[in-house]
Structure 1
């Protein structure tokens, strides 16, 4: 069983950065999803897919995964690029 650790990205619909400092640990799916014959909804018997743990730091998430013997891979966030712009640039 493996897990995926990543940092929550900024919401594209808002300009604020609230909640972007948390790290998330999600389990990789153990089996493929299949349609339910009655409703047609996709589902599987893997209950770990529903588990989503949040941590204040990457080290805390990695320590938790190590403590329960879970293999994991970390996706680091892309570097932040500042686009320095002045109001006067609109009139050049």
Structure 2
């Protein structure tokens, strides 16, 4: 049975807005460790599920899909947003 994690996409540090942060992702966890390719030296594995990333509009849709398909999953809670409120005048204290 494949294992997966479901998480909400966090806001990128380069973003000022919160666009696309309401979508939920389902990613499969690696089934086998990565090994170095003897010819190129690149790390890789034969597990192709690691490349699959599914997007869902809500947490319920993602968990419903995982249970319907028989995928064992765990939900990673979204990090709490911390606002750092400061004024321009604080630069001159």
Q: Same fold (TM over 0.5)?
A: yes
Tell me the TM-score normalized by structure 2.
Answer: 0.89
Query: What is the deviation of 1:71?
Result: 0.5
Query: What is the deviation of 1:77?
Result: 0.8
Question: Do residues 89 (structure 1) and 66 (structure 2) align?
Answer: no
- Stretches of structure 1 lacking an aligned partner (at least 5 in a row): none
3-state secondary structure, aligned to 2:39: coil
Tell me the TM-score normalized by structure 1.
Answer: 0.90
RMSD, aligned α-carbons: 1.3
Alignment of 1:35-46 (within 5 A): 35-46=36-47
3-state secondary structure, aligned to 2:30: coil
2-structure distance, mates of 1:41, 1:90: 48
Show the counterpart of 1:8.
9
- Stretches of structure 2 lacking an aligned partner (at least 5 in a row): none
Which shifted more, 7-16 or 39-48? 7-16
